[in-house]
Each structure stands twice: as structure tokens, then as C-alpha cells.
């Protein structure tokens, strides 16, 4: 589904990604972990070209990202959920979800609204259709953001630390929505610090550090028998602090 070869990204002098290659299969849930500054968010943002790679090849669903047309084509197939939700504050929840299907997929209003209401029900927020984003809690906003991305019927969903900006008591409701998506067979790439989620839902865990994939494997491989010193060091720090352990 996603094929990445020798991906590099430089911000001025700073090389954030130093040659990342990875294949992600259909229906696979890949969780990317690593210390902050390891390049994991940049890696994710390169997949739909929110960051333009300095070099390397990216192919999504058989489409190679090159010119503007292919970028827009890929973005239609790749949904993204941000750390800070990024809902449109001047629109209601329903309008937030309906906008892109109507403008990009040329769906008519009735159809778009029906689809939006279905998705809201799916994320458990059917009664919030007419609310504005600022009237919702962080967890509710993030669930709306997931519904908004799903409205485009993407083949892949990217999650960029979707629970990092949430109060602890709201993390679970968002993770549950993501879990049910994974069960339905959605292809997902998730950057997160939620090790419980990684272990429970991930098919594969990538550990990134200093712009490279240091180690990858099943959650069991990474969490219980990591081979690399850097992986062990990172896990020892994060698991000690994590209440999910």
C-alpha cells in the first residue's frame, strides 16, 4: 500500500530523515515510536507531502508522488489526524466533515450529510452535529477530526500523536475509535507515545532515532526482546514512566 525508498529530509543544515525505507501492507497497522526529535512526525508528514522530501521515493496505492496532480490524488486516499485536531472553527461539526467530500469528491449535499451523520454516529458523537468545535472537549474534537478524515473514504490513515494534546481522561475514547478502525481493516500509520496501544493494536512497531529506523518488528519483538541498545534505553525510560505498564 505504501512504499518508501531512501527518504531524506533536510531543514537547512539539519538532516531530520537520513534515508528511511519501509513498505506498509494493506490492512497493516504500523506504530512509530521514538524520542522527540527522532524524525517520526516528519516521516509521517512526508507520506502525504505535507513536508516535501529532500530526496527519496514515495508510492501510495500505486501512485508515485511527484507533481502537484499526484500529490492531490494521494491526499484524497490518505487521511490525516493531527495532534492539535485542526478542526475548522468557523464551521459546525457537520460542515467540517462535509466540506472536503463536497469540494474534492464532488459529492452532493444530501449524500455528504448522510455520510457525515453516519461517521459521527460511528465515533459516538451523533448528537454534536450542530455544535461548533470550541464547544467540544479535546477528546470529542479529535473524534470529529477522525470522522472528517474518514469522510473522504481514505485507504490509509495517518495519525500524528493523536492523543498527545489530550487530558488523560480523554485519551481512551480516542484510542477506542482508532482500535475499532484497525479492526475494520484500515491501513494505519500511527506516531504515538501510547505504548499500550502499540502493543495491543500494532501489527508492527518501528523504533526511530536520529532520522533512521533503528529497529522494527512485532510489538512482542520490540517490547520484550529488543536487540538494539538504543531501543532498550528508550523503552526503559518510557515504560518506567508509563502507567500502562
Rounded to an integer, what distance in angstroms lies between the CA atom of residue 115 and that of residue 19?
A: 40
Cα separation, 46 vs 71, in Å, equals: 11
CB-based contact 184:133 (threshold 8 Å): no
Q: Which is nearer to another protein, 104 or 121 (CB)?
A: 104
Q: Scanning the structure block, which residue is given the C-alpha cell 481522561?
A: 169
Q: Does 86 bind another protein (CB under 8 A)?
A: yes
The reply to whether 100 sits near another protein by the rule CB under 8 A is yes
Contact flag: residue 79 with another protein (CB under 8 A): yes
Is 178 a residue that touches another protein (CB under 8 A)?
no
Q: For the chain, give me the number of helices (H) and strands (E)?
A: 9, 10
**What are the contacts of 109-117 at 24+ separation with CB within 8 A?**
112/151, 115/151, 116/147, 116/151
Give the full edge-to-edge strand order of the sheet including 187-191. Answer: 78-81, 156-160, 187-191, 29-33, 204-209, 212-217
Minimum Å gap between C-beta 236 and another protein is 33
Span from 74-82, 121-129, 181-189, 237-245 in contact with another protein (CB under 8 A): 74-82
Cell of 245: 505498564
Q: Does 11 bind another protein (CB under 8 A)?
A: no
Nearer to another protein, 22 or 102 (CB): 102
Q: Which is nearer to another protein, 51 or 203 (CB)?
A: 51
The residue among 129 and 132 lying less far from another protein, judged by its C-beta, is: 132
What residue ranges bind another protein (CB under 8 A)? 48, 50, 72, 75-76, 78-80, 82, 84, 86-90, 99-100, 103-104, 132, 145, 148-149, 152
Amino acid at each position: 500500500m505504501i512504499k518508501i525508498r531512501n527518504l531524506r529530509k533536510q531543514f537547512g543544515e539539519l538532516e531530520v530523515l537520513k534515508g528511511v525505507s519501509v513498505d506498509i501492507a494493506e490492512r497493516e497497522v504500523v506504530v512509530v515510536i521514538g524520542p522527540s526529535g527522532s524524525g517520526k512526525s516528519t516521516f509521517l508528514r512526508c507520506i502525504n507531502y505535507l513536508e516535501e522530501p529532500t530526496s527519496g521515493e514515495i508510492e501510495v496505492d500505486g501512485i508515485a508522488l511527484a507533481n502537484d496532480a499526484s500529490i492531490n490524488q494521494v491526499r484524497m486516499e490518505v487521511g490525516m489526524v493531527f495532534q492539535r485536531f485542526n478542526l475548522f472553527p468557523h464551521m459546525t461539526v457537520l460542515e467540517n466533515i462535509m466540506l472536503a467530500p463536497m469540494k474534492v469528491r464532488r459529492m452532493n449535499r444530501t449524500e455528504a450529510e448522510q455520510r457525515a451523520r453516519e461517521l459521527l454516529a460511528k465515533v459516538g458523537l451523533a448528537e454534536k452535529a450542530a455544535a461548533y468545535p470550541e464547544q467540544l472537549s479535546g477528546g470529542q474534537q479529535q473524534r470529529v477530526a477522525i470522522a472528517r478524515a474518514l469522510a473522504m473514504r481514505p485507504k490509509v490513515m495517518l495519525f500524528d500523536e493523536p492523543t498527545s494534546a489530550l487530558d488523560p481522561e480523554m485519551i481512551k475514547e480516542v484510542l477506542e475509535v482508532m482500535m475499532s478502525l484497525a479492526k475494520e481493516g484500515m491501513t494505519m500509520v500511527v506516531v504515538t507515545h501510547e505504548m499500550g496501544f502499540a502493543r495491543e493494536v500494532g501489527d508492527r512497531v518501528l523504533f526511530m532515532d536520529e532520522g533512521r529506523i533503528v529497529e522494527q518488528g512485532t510489538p512482542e519483538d520490540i517490547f520484550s526482546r529488543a536487540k538494539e541498545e538504543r531501543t532498550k534505553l528508550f523503552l526503559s525510560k518510557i515504560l518506567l514512566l508509563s502507567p500502562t505498564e
